[in-house]
Amino acid sequence: MTDVLQLLVYGIVLGSILTLGAIGVSMIFGILRFAHFAHGDFMTVGAYIGLAAVTATGGSIWLALPAGMLGTAVVAVIIDQVLYRRIRRKQPVILLISSFGMALALRSLVQLIWGPDNQNYASGIQLPWRIEGIAVKPDHVTIVVAAIALVVTLHLFLTRTRLGKAMRAMSDNMDLALITGIPAERVIMATWIMAGAMAAAAGVFLGIDTRLHPVMGWTVLLPVFASAIVGGIGRPYGAIAGGMVIGIAMEMSTLFIDPAYKLAVAFAIMVVMLIVRPQGIFKGTV
Amino acid sequence: MSLLDARGVYGGYGGADILNGTSIQLDRDEIVVIVGPNGAGKSTMMKAIFGLVRIRKGQVHFNGGDITNGKPQDMVGRGIAYVPQERNVFPSMTVKENLEMGAYLLKDDIRPRLDKVYDVFPKLRERRNQPAGLMSGGERQMVAMGRALMIDPVLLMLDEPTAGLSPLLIDDTFARIREIAALGIGVLMVEQNAKQALGIASRGYVLATGENRYEDTGPNLLANREVAEMFLGG
Amino acid sequence: MELIGFLHYLISFLTFAGIYGILALGLNMQWGFSGQFNIGVAGFFAIGAYTSAILTTPGSPAYLGGFGMPFLVGVAGATLASTILGVLIGLITARLRTDYLAIATIGIAEIIRLLIKNEDWLTNGVRGIAGIDRPMAGWGMGLDTPIAFLVVVLLFVALTYYLVERARVSPWGRVQRAIRENEPASAASGKDIARFRLRAFVAGSAIMGLGGALYAHYFGFLSPEAFRPLYGTFLVWVMLIAGGSGNNRGALLGAVVIWALWSGSELLTSMLPSDMATRAGALRVLIIGVLLQVILVTRPEGILPEKAPRLPGKDRK
C-alpha cells in the first residue's frame, strides 16, 4: 500500500509538470491548429534560462521560475513573429515540420551554450519528509503548490479578462471569432506568451525534480501531447485532467512494468483515447 | 443614397465564380430578403459583402464608403454585424460570454448593451450563465443574434435565421426580427422559408445561378405567380 | 596518397548518400505522395537494421541471433518487419488527422529506441550488435571491398527509384495525389481514402526498412545511438524538403546535397580540438535546422519541385 501511495506522490508531481506543458500545447493546437513539436524544447529552454539566471546572480533556485518564464515567453513570440507567422500565412501544412526543426535547433542551441552534460540547479540531496512511511521531498510540495498557483492564475486570466476570453473564443470557433472582429494576431501573440511561460515553468520544475539535460524536454514531449489529447484539445481544464491521468498512470505503471517503458504507457493511453474518444475527456476539438 | 450598395459582384471560393454580377441594395429602414433555389449563391453573396468570400469584380459600398473585400474587423467597426447559419455561437462559453465577445472591439461599459439585448431576448437573461453549446437550436439562434446586436449595428446580416427551427419558433424569430428592424437597424436576410420571410420584408431579391432574377417589394413578389411557382415552393 | 584517401571518402560518401536516398524515397511515398507526416522515420529505419542484423549475424550467448542467414534474407526480413510496423501504425492512424499521425510516429520511434536499449536479450542493448558482414564477405577474389558494396547500394537505389517512379505515374499514384491535394473534394469515400493512405504509408515503411538493412551491413555495427531522431528522422526530412517533396529525383538529389553539407561540416569540425567536439556537433545540427527553416520560408517546394506526371497519350508540352 505504501508503494502505491508513494507512486501516487510521484505521479502527482509528474502530473503537475505535464499539466503545465499540456496547457500550452492544447491552446496552440486549439487556436493555431497545429501540433507544436518544439514545445518540449521550450521547456528545456525555460529550464536553462532559469539556470543562467540562478548561476549569474547566485540567488535562490526559485529565481529560475520567473526568469525562465519571461525568457521563454520572449523566445516564443520571436519564433512566431519571425518564422511561424510567415509559414502559416502561406502553407500551414508545413508548420509541423517547421516546429520539428525548431525543436532540434533549440536543443542544439542549448547544448552549444551549456554543453551536453547533466546539470543541476543546486548541489546536494534534499532530505525528504516522511509521512506514514511515504517520502515527500519539500521540492515536491513546492512544485505542486506552484503549479496549482500558476493554473489558478491562468484560469482567472481565461475567465476574467477580455483577452483570455477571446483566446477561449478563438479556440472554440475560430471562424466566428474572426467574424466578431476579435483581433486574431493579438490573441495569437498572447497565446504564445502564455504557452511559452507555462512550458518554461514545467521545464524549471522538471529540472528541480530531476536534472537538466539538453533533451529533457524532448523526452517528456510525448507524455505532454498525451495529456493534451486525453484532456481534450483546446480545453485548458482538460489539460489538467489529462496531465494528472498520464502522470499518475506513468508512475503507477512501474508496479507492473519496467520503469524504462513509462513512455510506452503514456503512448498506449493516448492511442486508446484517439481510437475510442478522440475529443478527449472534456470534448475538445478533434 | 442607399445604406448598402453592392453592384455587379462576381466572385467565389477560388475556382469558378458562384456570383455572376449580383447586385443588392438596402436602405436604412428596410428589411431586405434574399431568396432563391439551393445553390443560387444567396449565402455566398452575403459572405462576399462581409468580406468572407473574395470579390473578383464589382463593388460594395456602405454608408458611402468602399468596403469591397474588407476585413471583418473593419466591418464591425462600421456597424455591420453578420450571423452565419451554422456554428454561430461559442459552445463552451456561457451566453453572457458569447454576448461579451460580440462587443469585444468596443471600449465602453458593456452593461447597457447587455441590457438592451436582454430586452429583445428575455430568455437570454434567464440563461446567461449557461454554456451556449448546451442550448436548443432556437435558443442558440437567439444567442447568435444577440451577439451581433451587441455592437448596436447599423446593418444586421442574417444567414437563414430560421433554419432547422419548429414552426412556432420560426414565427417567433420573424417577430423578433421585426422588433429589431423597428429599432432602426437595417436587416439583410437570406431565407429558405421564403414565403414567411417575404411576408415581413420591405423588399426582396430572387437569385438564381448567381444572378438577380427578380427584385420587388415583399408583397409584390408574393403575389407574382411565376416567382411563386418557380422559387417559393410550398 | 591523398588521392586514395579522397577516393575512400568519396565511396563512403556515396554509399551513405545512397542509403539516405532510399530513406528519402520511402518518406516521399508517405509525405510527398499522400501527405502523411511520419516523424518517426528512425523507428522504421531501426527495425529494418536490427532485423537484418539479427537474422544474418553469427550467434552470441548475449543476445538472440545466430541464424547466420545470407544478406538477401536479412534484407527481405528487414523489409517485412518494417512493413508490419507500418501496417500496425497505419491502421491506428490512417483515419486521424495528420497531426495525430505525426505524434503517434514520434511515439513509436521513441518506444522502439527504448526497446532496443532495454531488451538486451534481443539487441544486446547499448552494447550494440557487431560483426554484421557485407554480402560479399567470404566470396574471396578480393570482392569484399567498399566499392563493391557501393555497387550493391546503388543497385538497390536504382531498383527502389524505378518502383516508386512507376507508382507515381500509375493511376494509383494519381489518386494519392488527388487525396493529398484536395481531400474533401476527391470522389473517394472516407473508407477508401484511409485505405489509400495506408497503402502509401506501408510502402514507404517497407522502403525505410530496406534502407535500414543496407545501413546495418555497411556500417557493420549497430547501436541505439545511430537511431536518434536527429540522424534517423530529421536529416531525412531536410533531405526531402530541400530536394523537393513529391519528386523522387528531388528526394535523391536532396539526399546527396544535404549529406554533402552534413559530412562536409563534419570534416571541418573534426579539425577542431576534441573537447570542442560535442559543441561543434551541436553547431552543425543548429545550422541544418536553420537551413530547414530558411527553405520552408523561401522555397518550400525544394530544388526540384513536383511535376504532375504526363498522362498517357498526351503530347509533350
> Minimal Cα–Cα distance from B76 to chain A, Å?
6
Contacts with C98 from chain A: Cβ below 8 Å = 93, 96
Task: Decide if pLDDT at A252 tops 70.
Answer: yes
> Minimal Cα–Cα distance from A245 to chain C, Å?
18
- pLDDT at residue B130 in the model: 93
- pLDDT at residue C316 in the model: 41
Considering CB atoms only, which of A29, A35, A115 is closest to C279?
A: A115
Q: Where are the domains of chain C?
A: 26-227, 230-308
Contacts with A220 from chain C: Cβ below 8 Å = none
Contacts with A274 from chain C: Cβ below 8 Å = 92-93, 96, 100, 104
For A279, list phi and psi in degrees, rounded to 5: -85, 0
pTM for the full model?
0.89
Task: Decide if pLDDT at C9 tops 80.
Answer: yes
Contacts with A168 from chain B: Cβ below 8 Å = 90, 92-93, 97
How far apart are the C-alpha atoms of B88 and C62, rounded to whole Å?
Answer: 65
Mean pLDDT taken over chain A: 91
How far apart are the C-alpha atoms of A227 and A198, rounded to whole Å?
Answer: 15
Question: Mutate which of B47, B71, B90 to disrupt the A interface (most A C-beta within 10 Å)?
Answer: B90
The residue of chain A nearest to residue B157, with distances taken between CA atoms, is A179
User: Looking at chain B, how many residues does it have?
Assistant: 234
The residue of chain A nearest to residue B89, with distances taken between CA atoms, is A176
Q: Does A90 contact C300 at a Cβ distance shorter than 8 Å? A: yes
- pLDDT at residue C67 in the model: 74
Per-residue pLDDT, averaged over A161-189, amounts to 92
Per-residue pLDDT, averaged over A62-74, amounts to 94
Least confident of B152-156, C54-58, C205-209: C54-58
- Facing residues of A136 across strands? A129
Task: Decide if pLDDT at C317 tops 60.
Answer: no
> Minimal Cα–Cα distance from B91 to chain A, Å?
7
Q: Does C103 contact A222 at a Cβ distance shorter than 8 Å? A: yes
How far apart are the C-alpha atoms of A118 and A115, rounded to whole Å?
Answer: 9
- Facing residues of B35 across strands? B206
A182 at interface of B, judged by CB pairs closer than 8 A: yes
Q: Does B73 contact A183 at a Cβ distance shorter than 8 Å? A: yes
CB contact at 8 A, B63 and B78: yes
Task: Decide if pLDDT at C185 tops 60.
Answer: no
| pLDDT tens-digit series, residues A196-232 | 999 999 999 999 999 999 999 999 999 999 999 999 9
Residue A96 lies in a domain: yes
Burial of A62 (0-12, 13-18, 19+ CB in 10 A): middle
The residue of chain B nearest to residue A173, with distances taken between CA atoms, is B90
* Chain C partners (3+ C-beta pairs within 8 A): A
Q: Where are the domains of chain B?
A: 28-52+69-232
Residue A281 lies in a domain: no
- pLDDT at residue C143 in the model: 62
Considering CB atoms only, which of C118, C238, C292 is closest to A260?
A: C118
Q: Does C238 contact A101 at a Cβ distance shorter than 8 Å? A: yes
**Angle of CA points A151, A152, A155, to nearest 5°:** 85
Q: Does A102 contact C293 at a Cβ distance shorter than 8 Å? A: yes
What is the torsion angle, in degrees rounded to the nearest 10, for the CA atoms of residue A96, residue A102, residue A108 and residue A112?
Answer: 180
Q: Does B100 contact A183 at a Cβ distance shorter than 8 Å? A: no
How far apart are the C-alpha atoms of C310 and C317, rounded to whole Å?
Answer: 9
More confident of the two residues C60 and A253: A253
- Facing residues of B157 across strands? B82, B188
Task: Decide if pLDDT at A69 tops 90.
Answer: yes
Which CATH code fits B28-52+69-232? 3.40.50.300
- pLDDT at residue C253 in the model: 95
Instruction: Centre a 10 Å sphere on the Cβ of residue A189 and count the other Cβ atoms it contains.
Output: 18
- Facing residues of B156 across strands? B81, B187
As given in the structure block, the three cell numbers for residue A76 are: 516564443
Contacts with B106 from chain A: Cβ below 8 Å = none
How far apart are the C-alpha atoms of B50 and B74, rounded to whole Å?
Answer: 10
Q: How many domains does chain A have?
A: 1
Per-residue pLDDT, averaged over B133-146, amounts to 92
Burial of C174 (0-12, 13-18, 19+ CB in 10 A): middle
Dihedral over Cα of A282, A25, A141, A209: its sign: positive
As given in the structure block, the three cell numbers for residue C216 are: 546495418
**Angle of CA points C249, C254, C255, to nearest 5°:** 100
What angle, rounded to 10 degrees, do the helices at A184-209 and A138-160 form? 170
Instruction: Centre a 10 Å sphere on the Cβ of residue A24 and count the other Cβ atoms it contains.
Output: 31
pLDDT tier, A241 (very low <50, low <70, confident <90, very high otherwise): very high
Contacts with A165 from chain B: Cβ below 8 Å = 93, 97, 100-101
CB contact at 8 A, C102 and A221: no
Q: Does A180 contact B102 at a Cβ distance shorter than 8 Å? A: yes
| pLDDT tens-digit series, residues A9-43 | 999 999 999 999 999 999 999 899 889 999 999 99
Burial of B64 (0-12, 13-18, 19+ CB in 10 A): exposed
Residue C274 neighbours by CB under 8 Å, 6+ apart: none
Considering CB atoms only, which of B72, B88, B102 is closest to A178?
A: B72
The residue of chain C nearest to residue A115, with distances taken between CA atoms, is C279
Question: Mutate which of A41, A45, A108, A225 to disrupt the C interface (most C C-beta within 10 Å)?
Answer: A108
How far apart are the C-alpha atoms of B186 and B81, rounded to whole Å?
Answer: 10
- pLDDT at residue B164 in the model: 85
Question: Mutate which of B53, B104, B108 to disrupt the A interface (most A C-beta within 10 Å)?
Answer: B104
Question: Mutate which of B13, B43, B87, B92 to disrupt the A interface (most A C-beta within 10 Å)?
Answer: B92
Q: Give the C-alpha distances (Å, rounded to integers) separating B160 from A262, A266, B27, B90, C210.
A: 52, 46, 20, 18, 57
Question: Mutate which of A41, A99, A100 to disrupt the C interface (most C C-beta within 10 Å)?
Answer: A100
pLDDT tier, C121 (very low <50, low <70, confident <90, very high otherwise): confident
Considering CB atoms only, which of A162, A176, A235 is closest to B90?
A: A176
B105 at interface of A, judged by CB pairs closer than 8 A: yes
Considering CB atoms only, which of A168, A178, A181 is closest to B105?
A: A181
Question: Mutate which of A161, A171, A179 to disrupt the B interface (most B C-beta within 10 Å)?
Answer: A179
| pLDDT tens-digit series, residues C276-311 | 777 888 899 999 999 999 999 998 888 888 876 544
Alpha helices in C94-189 (DSSP H): 98-118, 120-123, 146-169, 171-181
| pLDDT tens-digit series, residues B175-219 | 999 999 998 899 999 998 888 899 999 999 999 888 988 898 988
How far apart are the C-alpha atoms of C291 and A97, rounded to whole Å?
Answer: 13
| pLDDT tens-digit series, residues A108-159 | 999 999 988 898 887 667 788 888 778 888 889 999 999 999 999 999 999 9
B134 at interface of A, judged by CB pairs closer than 8 A: no
Considering CB atoms only, which of A93, A100, A229 is closest to C39?
A: A100
Burial of B149 (0-12, 13-18, 19+ CB in 10 A): buried
User: What region does B153 belong to: left with phi over 0, alpha with psi -120 to 50, or beta?
Assistant: beta
Q: What is the DSSP string of chain B?
A: --SEEEEEEEEESSSS-SEEEEEEEE-TT-EEEEE-STTSSHHHHHHHHHTSSEEEEEEEEETTEE-TT--HHHHHHHTEEEE-SSS-S-TTSBHHHHHHHHTTT--S-SHHHHHHHHHH-HHHHHTTTSBGGGS-HHHHHHHHHHHHHTT--SEEEEESTTTT--HHHHHHHHHHHHHHHHTT-EEEEE-SSHHHHHHH-SEEEEEETTEEEEEEEHHHHHH-HHHIIIII--
> Minimal Cα–Cα distance from A234 to chain B, Å?
10
Per-residue pLDDT, averaged over C141-152, amounts to 78
Task: Decide if pLDDT at B118 tops 90.
Answer: yes
Quick one: how many helices (H) and strands (E) in chain C? 12, 0
B101 at interface of A, judged by CB pairs closer than 8 A: yes
Per-residue pLDDT, averaged over C29-57, amounts to 90
Task: Decide if pLDDT at A267 tops 60.
Answer: yes
Residue A121 lies in a domain: no
Q: What percent of chain A has pLDDT over 90?
A: 71
Maximum distance among all Cα pairs of chain B, rounded to whole angstroms: 51
CB contact at 8 A, B22 and B195: no
- pLDDT at residue A274 in the model: 87
Q: How many CA atoms lie within 13 A of A252 on its CB side?
A: 13
- pLDDT at residue C142 in the model: 61
- Identify the three-state secondary structure at position C247: coil
What angle, rounded to 10 degrees, do the helices at C190-219 and C71-93 form? 150
Mean pLDDT taken over chain B: 90
* Chain A partners (3+ C-beta pairs within 8 A): B, C
Reported ipTM: the value is 0.90
Mean pLDDT taken over chain C: 84
The residue of chain B nearest to residue A169, with distances taken between CA atoms, is B90
Q: Does A229 contact C97 at a Cβ distance shorter than 8 Å? A: no
Strands of the B31-35 sheet, one edge to the other: B80-83, B155-159, B186-190, B31-35, B203-208, B211-217
Which residues of chain A are at the C interface, by a Cβ-Cβ cutoff of 8 Å?
29, 34-35, 37, 83, 86-87, 90-91, 93-94, 96-98, 100-102, 104-105, 107-109, 111-112, 115-116, 214, 218-219, 221-222, 225, 229, 258, 260-261, 263-264, 267, 270-271, 274-275, 278, 286
Domain with residue A101: its CATH number is 1.10.3470
| Parent domain of A229 | 2-115+136-276
- pLDDT at residue C186 in the model: 55
- pLDDT at residue C154 in the model: 94
